[in-house]
Chains A and B, each alone.
Chain A
Amino acid sequence: MGKLYNAIFSAGIALVLACLMIGVKLDTDGTTLKVHGASPEQWSWIIGGIALVFLSQLFADQIDAAFGKIPKPNLSNLIPEGDKMVRLKPWLLAGVFVCMVIWPFLVSRGSVDLATLALIYIMLGLGLNIVVGLAGLLDLGYVAFYAVGAYTYALLSQYFGLSFWVCLPISAGMAALFGFLLGFPVLRLRGDYLAIVTLGFGEIIRILLNNWTAVTGGPNGISGIDKPSLFGLEFSRRPSEGGTTFHEFFGIDYSSTYKVIFLYLIAVVLVAFVIYVINRLMRMPIGRAWEALREDEIACRSLGLNRTAIKLSAFTIGASTAGFAGSFFAARQGFISPESFTFIESAIILAIVVLGGMGSQIGIILAAIVMTILPELAREFSEYRMLLFGLTMVLMMRWRPQGLVPMKRPVLELK
C-alpha cells in the first residue's frame, strides 16, 4: 500500500514538473508574449515519462534486486596483492608513464588535446580529494583556486612578461595563500555551513574577476597568454624578438601538432608530480591526521592535534594543486575569462571526486578521464549534457555508491 502511495506521489510530482517545464511554453509574438501548449508528440513523451516514474517507484524493490544482480566490476581486485604488488609496482608505473609519453605521437591532434584536458581535471580532482575525500571538508568553491592560479599566470605574464615556468610555482603559491585566507574564517564550520561559505567564496572570486576591469579585463578576459617554452624554445610559427622556435632549432618543418604534444607532455609531468607529492603526503602523519579529523574532531583534539593547523594545511595544499592546474590551463588555453570558472566547474570537479570514490586516487583518475571523454563522445547530445550528467550520478549512486574504485588505505606492515 505504502508503495502505491509512494508511486502515485512521485508520478504526481513528475506531472507537475513536466507540465511546468515542457508543457507550457512562452513565445514572443510581436511585442506580446504568448503561451503555447505542448504539441501532441511532446505530451505523449510526458505521459510516457510519468508512467515510467510511476512504474519504477511501484516496482522499486524488484528493480533494486535486478541492480544487485549486475556484476560489480571489482577493479581493486585487478591490482595484484601483497608482495607481488610491491615488486611489480615500479615497473607498472614506469610502463604507464612510458605509454603516456609515446601515445600522443601515434594519435590525432584532437585526442591529444582532449587528453590534456583530462589531465587538468585529474589534477583538480586530486587536489579537491585532499579537502573533500581526506579531510572531509565539503568545498563547493574549489574553482576559485583554479581561477586564482590561472589569473596569476595570465596577469604576471601580461604585465611583467614572466614565463610559464616561473609562474607555475607562483600560481600554486598564490592559490595556496587564498586557500589559507579562506581557511581561517571557515575553520569553525562543518558540513552544510562550510559548503555554503565556500560556494560564496567561489562566486566572490568570479565576480571580482568579472568586475575588476582595470586589471583583469573583466568579462573580456585576458587573451594572448604566452605558451610555455622548452628551455627557451618557442612553439610558434615565427619566433618572437630575440627568440628561437623549436622547429628552427631542430631544423624540422613547422607543425602545430608539436605544440599540442608539448603541452600534453607538460601536463603528464605535472600530473605525475602532483600524484607523487600527494601520495607522499597521504603516507605522512599529516595525511592520516586529515583522515582522523574527518572521522572525529574531538578525538583528534584529545590527542593534542591542532585542528586549525590540520584543516588549514588541507585547504592550502588542495588549493595549491588547483593553482597549479589553473596556471597550466591558462597557458594551454591562451585565453581566460571569468566564464571558465563558473560554479558548474566546481560541481564537475566534485562529481569527479565522488564518482571516483572519496579518497581514492586511482578512482579519481578514472573518473576524471570518464568525465572529460564522455561529453566529447556524446557530442550529438550536447544539449542533454547536464541530463546525462545527472543520470550517470543517479545510476552510480544506485549501482556503486562508494565510487568507482573505493579507497584502500595504505597499510604499514610492522615485522
Chain B
Amino acid sequence: MLKLENVNTHYGKIQALHDISIDVHKGEIVTLIGANGAGKTTLMMTICGDPRASSGTIFFDEEDISSVNTPEIMRKGLAVVPEGRRVFSRLSVQENLHMGAYFRSNAEYKESLAHVLELFPRLEERIDQRAGTMSGGEQQMLAIGRAMMSRPRMILLDEPSLGLAPIIIQQIFSIIEKLRDDGVTIFLVEQNANQALRIADRGYVMENGRVVLSDSGDALLTNPEVRKAYLGG
C-alpha cells in the first residue's frame, strides 16, 4: 500500500535519510523503531512531502507521490497524527473533529463523527469542551480521532505514546489494534519499542538515517540486538 524505494532526504547539506526502502501492505500494522535522532520523524515527514525526498520514490496505492505537494498527499486517503498531539487547543472537541473532515461532505462528516465517537466514547462526553483543557491521553485520542475523520485508508502515527502514563499507553495501543481490525493500514513510529512491536505485524529498526533491520514484530522482540539496544537487554 505504501512503498518507499531508496529514499534519501536532506536538510540542507545534511543527509537525514540514507536509501530507505520500506513496504507497508494493506491491513498491516508496521512499526518503525529507533533511537532519538535516527530519522523516524523525518521519514514520516518525507512521506507527507515536507521535506521532499531528494531522491528515490514513494508510492501510495501504486501512485507515485514523491513530487505531489503536501496538502494533496494528505487528501489521498492518507492521514497523519503528528508528534506531540497538536490538537487545536482553543477549539472544542467537536470543532477539532470537524477540521479532520474538512474536505468531506456534511453527510460523510456525520457518519465519520458517529464512527469516531463510537471508537472513543470519552470524546463524546467532552464534545463541547475545549481541546486544550483535556488530559494528555484524551488529547491523543482526539488527535487520532481527528485523523480518522477523513476516513483514511492508511494512518501514520508519530509517537502516540509520547508523554502518556503506561495505562493510557495501553489504551491507545488497543485502539490502534481496533483501527487495524476496521481495515485501516497503520504505520506506527515509536520509541516505546516493547509495546509497539507487540502489536505490530512487521517492524523496521532505524539507526542514523538507515534501516538496519526488518523482520516480523515477534522476531524483532526476541532479536538479541534489538533487545539490547531498545528493550534493556
Residues on A lying within 8 angstroms of B by beta carbon are 285, 288-289, 291-292, 294-296, 298-306, 409, 411-412, 414
List 9 additional contacts besides A285-B98, A303-B74; criterion CB under 8 Å. Answer: A288-B99, A289-B99, A295-B88, A299-B86, A301-B70, A302-B79, A304-B74, A411-B94, A414-B113
Q: Does B100 contact A (CB under 8 A)?
A: yes
The reply to whether the CB of B146 lies closer than 8 angstroms to some CB of chain A is yes
Choose among B75, B88, B113 the residue that contacts A299 (Cβ–Cβ < 8 A).
B88
| A411–B96 CA distance with the chains assembled, in angstroms | 12
- Using an 8 Å CB-CB cutoff, how does the interface string of B76-117 with A read, 1 for contact, 0 for none? 000111100011111110110011101100000010010000
- Name 17 A/B residue pairs within 8 A (Cβ), A-sorted: A285-B98, A288-B91, A291-B90, A291-B91, A295-B88, A296-B87, A298-B82, A299-B87, A299-B143, A301-B50, A301-B74, A302-B82, A303-B79, A303-B100, A304-B71, A411-B94, A414-B94
- CB <8 Å contact, A303 and B110: no
Q: Is B17 an interface residue (CB 8 A)?
A: no
Residues of A within 8 A of B89 (CB): 295-296
Q: How distant is A409 from chain B, measured CB to nearest CB, in Å?
A: 7
- Interface pair B94/A412, CB less than 8 Å apart: yes
Which of B50, B71, B92, B147 interacts with A305 by CB under 8 Å?
Answer: B71
Query: A302 touching B74 by the CB < 8 A rule?
Result: yes
Q: Is B150 an interface residue (CB 8 A)?
A: yes
Complex Cα–Cα for A12 and B233 (A) = 63
Determine the distance from Cα of A145 to Cα of B79 in the docked complex, in whole angstroms: 38
Q: How far is the CB of B77 from chain A (nearest CB, A)?
A: 10
Across the interface, which residues of A come within 8 angstroms of B95, CB to CB? 288, 291-292, 409
- Min CB gap A84→B, angstroms: 18
Q: Does B48 touch A at the CB level, under 8 Å?
A: yes
Report whether A302 and B71 are in contact in the complex, using a CB–CB cutoff of 8 Å: no
Contact A304 B147 (CB under 8 A): no
Question: Which of B87, B91, B92, B99 lies at the interface centre, i.e. has the most chain A CB atoms within 10 A of its CB?
Answer: B99
CA distance A409 to B103 in the complex (A): 21
- A299 to B97, alpha carbons, bound, how many Å? 12
Cross-chain contact B147 with A302 (CB below 8 angstroms): yes
Residue B61 at the chain A interface, CB threshold 8 Å:
no
The reply on B128 being an interface residue by CB < 8 A is: yes
A295 lies within 8 A of B48 (CB) = no
A409 to B129, CA, bound (A): 12
Interface size class of B (residues with CB under 8 A): 20 to 34
Q: Could you mark each residue 26-57 of chain B with 1 if its beta carbon is under 8 Å from any beta carbon of chain A, else 0?
A: 00000000000000000000001010000000
* Chain A residues with CB under 8 A of B88: 291-292, 295-296, 299
Shortest CB distance B9–A (Å) = 17
* Shortest Cβ gap from B130 to chain A (Å): 10
Which of these, A291, A299, A302, A412, contacts B48 with CB under 8 Å?
A302
Known: A288-B91, A411-B128. A305 touches B102 (CB 8 A): yes
On whether A304 and B102 interact (CB within 8 A), knowing A295-B91, A298-B82, A299-B88, the answer reads yes
Most buried by B among A291, A294, A301, A411: A301
Q: A301-B50, A301-B74, A304-B74 are in contact. Are A288 and B98 (CB under 8 A)?
A: yes
> With A298-B86, A299-B86, A302-B86 known to touch, is A411 a contact of B91 (CB < 8 Å)?
no
Question: In the complex the two chains form, what is the Cα distance from A409 to B128 in whole Å?
Answer: 11
User: B91 — which chain A residues lie within 8 A by C-beta?
Assistant: 288, 291-292, 295, 409
Q: Which residue of B lies closest to A407 (CB)?
A: B90
Report chain A residues within 8 Å CB of B94. Answer: 411-412, 414
What's the minimum C-beta distance from A30 to chain B, rounded to whole angstroms? 63
How far apart sit A305 and B92, CA to CA, in the bound complex (Å)? Answer: 19
What 3 A-B pairs come out closest when comparing CB atoms?
A: A304-B74, A295-B88, A299-B86
Q: List the B side residues contacting A295 at CB < 8 Å.
A: 88-91
Give the docked Cα–Cα distance between A412 and B89 (Å): 18
Are B81 and A302 neighbours in the complex by a CB distance under 8 Å? yes
**Distance (Å) between the CB of B104 and the closest chain A CB?**
10
Q: Which A residues are CB-close (under 8 A) to B50? A: 301
Q: B residues within 8 A CB of A285?
A: 98, 102
When distances are taken between beta carbons in the complex, the residues of chain B under 8 Å from A303 are: 74, 79, 99-100, 102, 146-147, 150
In the complex the two chains form, what is the Cα distance from A189 to B45 in whole Å? Answer: 21
Give CA–CA (A294, B48) in the complex, Å. 21
Q: Which of A292, A302, A409, A411 sits near B80, CB closer than 8 Å?
A: A302
Distance in angstroms between the alpha carbons of A303 and B74 in the assembled complex: 6
* Bound: A305/B81 CA distance, A: 14
CA distance A398 to B70 in the complex (A): 43
Task: Tell me the nearest residue of chain B to A304, going by C-beta.
Answer: B74
A288-B95, A411-B94 as given contacts; A296 in contact with B102, CB under 8 Å: no
Give the docked Cα–Cα distance between A294 and B132 (Å): 14
Return the contact of B82 from the options A299, A304, A411 (Cβ within 8 A).
A299
Q: Contacts A289-B99, A291-B91, A414-B113 hold; do A304 and B86 have CB atoms under 8 A apart?
A: no
* Least Cβ–Cβ distance between A412 and chain B, in angstroms: 7
Query: What CA separation (Å) do A171 and B101 show in the bound complex?
Result: 35
Q: Which chain A residue has the least Cβ–Cβ distance from B143?
A: A299
Which of A303, A305, A409 counts the most B-chain CB atoms under 10 A from its CB?
A: A303
Contacts of A411 in B (CB 8 A): 92, 94, 128
Identity of the chain A residue whose Cβ is nearest the Cβ of B127 in the assembled complex = A414
Chain B residues, CB < 8 A from A291: 88, 90-91, 95
Q: B75 — which chain A residues lie within 8 A by C-beta?
A: 304
Beta-carbon contact of A306 and B71 below 8 Å: yes
Return the chain A residue nearest B158 by Cβ.
A302
A300–B71 Cα gap in the complex (Å)? Answer: 9
Whole-angstrom distance from the CB of B151 to the nearest CB of chain A? 12
